[in-house]
Structure 1
Amino acid sequence: MRAHDRIIPLHPRRAHVTGALPPPPEGSFASDNAAGVAPQVMAALAEANHGPALAYGDDPWTAAATAALRAQLDAPAEVLLCWGGTGANVVGLATVVQPWQSVICVDSAHIVVDECGAPARFTGASITAVPNVDGKLRPEALDPYLHWLGTEHHPQPGVVSISQVTEMGTVYTVPEIGALCDAAHGHGLVVHLDGARIANALVACGTDLATMVRDTGVDVMTFGLTKNGAMYGEAVVYLRPELAASARYVRKQAGQLPSKARFVAAQITALLADDLWLDHARHANRLAGLLADRAGAVEGVDIARAPEANAVFAHLPAAAIAPLQEWSFFWPWDLERSQVRWMTSFASTEADVERFAAGVSAHLDAVPPA
């Protein structure tokens, strides 16, 4: 059962915790969305607040942000700013899919589980979810649906969508993305990448955006900002500019055109300057490894796999989960298997990790043996 599949009680029954219980960490391991705004981003927002600017992206900040993203890709990409991640995914998908087509993705994808059906509603297309393999979509998983092409009784596969990092915390390698793009393009399908945590994936793979996205053949992506230290806003990036012919109309109709676009754009330039976005991701990934090591050393904690990016998945004694959530909230992931998820961010600290691991130890000491 996924994080948002079950309502967490407001006052869970507490286990009696013996011994000294440390105060909860100042930071949150619930999500990288729980972190605040990076100081450099806040300063950029304040700087952009001086004087007037034309609305809807006709401003120097938007031009600078577009140029910065194009430089990262070394490609003449089309860039559209949006309010948020779900909206950006909707705009990207609705631009490249028709209502009689389908979007193929894994069953754990954000567009399936965590966007309240928005992609299906706004595109009118079917979302075809296939079983994931460690959160990933494999090229062979497309085969049963590619046979539908040309048959009027079936929704026509039109888009392959993947998440980078995946919802299971795994990272597609550059060759894996390339293989998927080759399989999709070989049958005329467009490849969409939900890059909410693209920076974490890049540093995990030791590569750059052009290599991971442009060179593999990704056609359109959501470029994540919020989880990397922005206040709000994401960008839709079209690696094939011709796909963006109707994108501005789709964005407006979907309610994703920011009027004061300079404030989204200023955050992009601040994060990309001097590779701050990659430094943030590198820090978050490193802290996830530290958290896995420290918490994994506690008796009764089973770390599902070594973190590949900034997500730690752990199995805990069922009786310890609710008291731990009350002490320092985090999301359960699969309660049927007593699995939880802990996320680190650019704002996580080593002190937070040590304090959290100590709290996990204290709570598990209070859980009677099964």
Structure 2
Amino acid sequence: MDNRYAHLLASDNVSGVHPEVMTKLAEVNRGHVPGYGADAVTAAALQQFRAVFGDHSETLLLFNGTAANVLALKGMLHSHEALFCAEEAHLQVDECGAPEHYIGCKLIPVPAMRGKLTLARIEQLVAADLDVVHRSQPRVISLAQATERGAVYSLEELRAIGAFARQRGLLLHMDGARLANAAQALGVGFAEIVEGFDVLSFGGTKNGLMMAEAVVVLNPALRGAYPYIRKQGMQLASKQRFLAAQFLAYFENDLWRRNAGNANAMAQQLASGLDSLDEVTLSAPVEINMVFAQVPTDWLGAVQQLTPCLVWPGDAFSEIRLVTSFDTRAEDIDHFVRELGRLSAGG
């Protein structure tokens, strides 16, 4: 099956680039301008970030999410300090040890429900290590909003963890690879979600951009080192206008919200369709653009023919992860559910 141009459900990383982003890239692809961010397009994009996150913030544009996470943390802790994150966190599972290698810090994975850290568990771990010379000292709590298991922290949950962090002198980092989907689900803007946080890894690639991410430094006391951290981290783009242009398109006419809204809505439609099949069970409520479901293990070959997807194999049943994108169409969902329905009917 030739899936080169199909609308797959493997990940929001497999989708293309939104046409409005491509148009903006073409608009700035004219003439010669100063490099390394000293251009009008970058200045306009950074002003837009300040309009969203406040004049106290500083934004640095980067190429990819791993760099956004690792360089964000590089400015937050030393090698003798520790970071607490969910055991399913991208930092812990899917960064190939980049934080430990590049920073030298210790990551402490915390058992979490659907990737969400609980305040009680964080309090317990921090109390066990704080001021004990034999142990890495607690410094940063990192939350993913939304989580790798598709869960969304409420504003109340975020405020409670933030209050605890300030009480204990800890810093807060947010992995915002799917922040747009979380904001759309909560019906709020970006600034409301990151209130009280120190540094944000701001994602765009999963929501219709080509290869554009950012580190947003929200704590003014941390700002000074980040331009040098970015350069040393090999993420300072010479032709930075092409990163900046993507974010200009992203913020114009609420493109980020339109993209995330479609992705989230298509996930709800997918969940409804799957829930109508007797042999399929949703693993958890669908809050953003990620659907986790239990399907008969003997369906996996057919499912993977329809779309590649992450699989957690089991005996009679296995769990799959399906992810919708800004350009997922209702007919894509209908086709997928219809094909699974044929399996359900024995066909």
The TM-score with structure 2 as length reference comes to: 0.95
Paired position in structure 2 for 1:360: 340
Shift of 1:111: 0.4
Deviations 1:32-72 (A, max 9, x none): 11110000000111111111122211111111111111111
- Quote the offset at 1:155 in angstroms: 0.1
RMSD: 1.8
C-alpha deviation, 1:144, in angstroms: 2.8
1:46 to 15, 26, 29: 26
Q: Does 1:190 align with 2:171?
A: yes
Q: Distance in 1 between matches of 2:257 and 2:314?
A: 33
Contact kept? 1:164, 1:197, Cα under 8 Å: yes
Q: Which deviates the most, 349-358 or 142-151? A: 142-151
Match of 1:37 in 2: 17
Contact 2:62/2:213 (8 A) holds in 1 = yes
Matches within 5 A, 1:258-269: 258-269=237-248
CA distance in 1: counterparts of 2:243 and 2:211, whole angstroms: 7
Structure 1 stretches lacking a partner, 5+ long:
1-22
Q: Does 2:61 match 1:73?
A: no
- Give secondary structure in 1 for the equivalent of 2:131: coil
Q: Could you tell me how far apart the structure 2 residues matched to 1:28 and 1:241 are?
A: 41
Matching residue within 74, 86, 90 for 1:106? 86
Alignment-derived partner of residue 182 in structure 2: 201
1:138-287 → structure 2 map (5 Å cutoff): 138-147=118-127, 148-214=129-195, 217-287=196-266
User: Using the alignment, how far apart are the partners of 2:190 and 2:151 within structure 1?
Assistant: 18
State the alpha-carbon separation in 1 of the partners of residues 124 and 242 from structure 2. 44
Whole-Å separation in 1 of the counterparts to 2:73 and 2:257: 26
Which deviates further from its counterpart, 48-57 or 160-169? 48-57
**Which of 39, 55, 72 is matched with 1:59 structurally?**
39
Shift of 1:179: 0.8
In structure 2, the CA distance between the partners of 1:270 and 1:25, relative to structure 1 (3 Å rule), is: closer
- Worse overlay, 320-329 or 129-138: 320-329
For residue 158 of structure 1, what is the amino acid of its counterpart? Answer: R
How many residues in Structure 1 have an aligned counterpart in Structure 2?
344
Contact kept, 8 Å, 1:75 with 1:239, in 2: the verdict is no
SS in 2 for 1:98: coil
1:15 is matched with: none
SS of the equivalent of 1:355 reads: helix
Distance, in Å, in 1 between the alignment partners of 2:94 and 2:314 is 17
What is aligned with 1:13?
none
Distance 2:346 2:34 in 1: 60
Instruction: Name the residue aligned to 1:289.
Output: 268
The CA distance in 2 between the partners of 1:104 and 1:209, in whole Å, is 23
Residue 262 of structure 1, CA deviation = 0.8
8 Å CA contact 2:201, 2:215 repeated in 1: yes
TM-score, structure 1 as length reference? 0.89
Residue 332 of structure 1: how far off its partner (Å): 1.3
Identity %: 39
* C-alpha distance in 1 between matches for 2:82 and 2:88: 17
- Following the alignment from structure 1 to structure 2, what is the Cα–Cα distance between the partners of residues 24 and 322? 19
Q: Report the residue type matching 1:250 in the other structure.
A: I
Displacement of 1:25 after TM fit? 9.3
* Mean CA deviation greater in 270-279 or 243-252: 243-252
Whole-Å separation in 2 of the counterparts to 1:316 and 1:58: 52
Give secondary structure in 2 for the equivalent of 1:338: strand
Provide the secondary structure at the position in 2 that maps to 1:30: coil
Contact kept, 8 Å, 2:306 with 2:336, in 1: the verdict is: no
Contact 1:134 1:168 in 2 (8 A): yes
Tell me, yes or no, if the aligned pair for 2:270 and 2:333 is still in contact at 8 Å. Answer: yes
Question: Is contact 1:56–1:258 with CA below 8 Å preserved after alignment?
Answer: yes
Q: Deviations over 1:207-244 (max 9, x none)?
A: 11121113xx0110011100110000200001112212
Amino acid at match of 1:272: F
The verdict on how the C-alpha distance between 1:333 and 1:250 changes in structure 2, with shifts beyond 3 A counting, is farther
Aligned residue for 2:292, secondary structure, equals strand
Q: What per-residue deviation string (whole Å, max 9, x for no partner) do you get for residues 107-143 of structure 1?
A: 0001011111111111110000010122101111122
Distance 1:335 1:274 in 2: 45
Q: Distance in 1 between matches of 2:183 and 2:62?
A: 22
**Match of residue 113 from structure 2:** 133
**Alignment partner, residue 302 of structure 1:** 281
Alignment partners' CA distance in 2, 1:227 and 1:206 = 19
Cα distance in 2 for partners of 1:359, 1:102 equals 47
Change (3 A) 1:84 1:204: same
Which stretch shows the higher mean deviation, 33-42 or 304-313?
304-313
Give the secondary-structure state (helix, strand or coil) at the position aligned to 1:141. helix
Supply the distance in 2 between the matched residues of 1:274 and 1:62 (Cα, whole angstroms): 18
SS at match of 2:60: strand
User: Aligned with 1:270: secondary structure?
Assistant: helix
Instruction: Answer whether contact 1:100 1:125 (CA < 8 A) is retained.
Output: yes
1: CA distance, partners of 2:340 / 2:43: 47
